[in-house]
Amino acid sequence: MPKPSKPTTKAPTVLDLFCGAGGMSLGFQNAGCEILGGIDKNPHAIRTHHRNFPNCELKLAAKPIESITDLSELGLQPGKVDILIGGPPCQVFSVVGNGKMRSLGKQIESDLRNFLYEQFIRFVEYYKPLFFVIENVNHLRNHWIFPLLIEDLEKGVHKKTNCNYPGYNISKLSQSALYLTHL
């Protein structure tokens, strides 16, 4: 009598924004996920990500995420990304980064990095992943932008653009990450 075959399961797919060399990608890969690709503006970081994850479907050159205006041109269709992860730059949110910027006479409040989380929301709205994780330093919770970030996440990810759009629930706040799942 032949042995019953095990059902095949598809590994969850992950797209990593602000990926750097791929630390979060590595964690998700080690958890059994398939890394679709990473996006980062640092050429050294993105080259390292490509080397660390040579089988990625998406291999963009280094570019600022805000310069990607048409997400359909990335070649990943909505529904293809199961999990969206990312850690927007932390310099404007960290204690050390704030101190350095102030010592250089820079205006932290007007620094565009404060608002790069909006790009993350844009990707969530387009790809409609089952889950997403946005990670940053724990001082972010004390930063003036945090309530705005939460409000924008709730507004952006709860928009119902069609009947297939999943709703999301901010289910857990850790020291440095927001874990969000669909309802």
Active site members: 90
Query: Which tokens belong to 26?
Result: 């590595």
Cα(171)–Cα(167) distance, integer angstroms:
12
Cα(10)–Cα(33) distance, integer angstroms:
9
* CB 88, CB 140: distance < 8 Å: no
Q: Where are the beta strands (DSSP E) in 29-118?
A: 34-39, 58-59, 83-86
* CB 21, CB 38: distance < 8 Å: no
- 150-178: b or e for each residue (b if 16 or more CB lie within 10 Å)? eebbeebbeeeeeeeeeebeeeeeeebbb
Residue given tokens 């932008």 in the structure block = 145
Cα(156)–Cα(79) distance, integer angstroms:
17
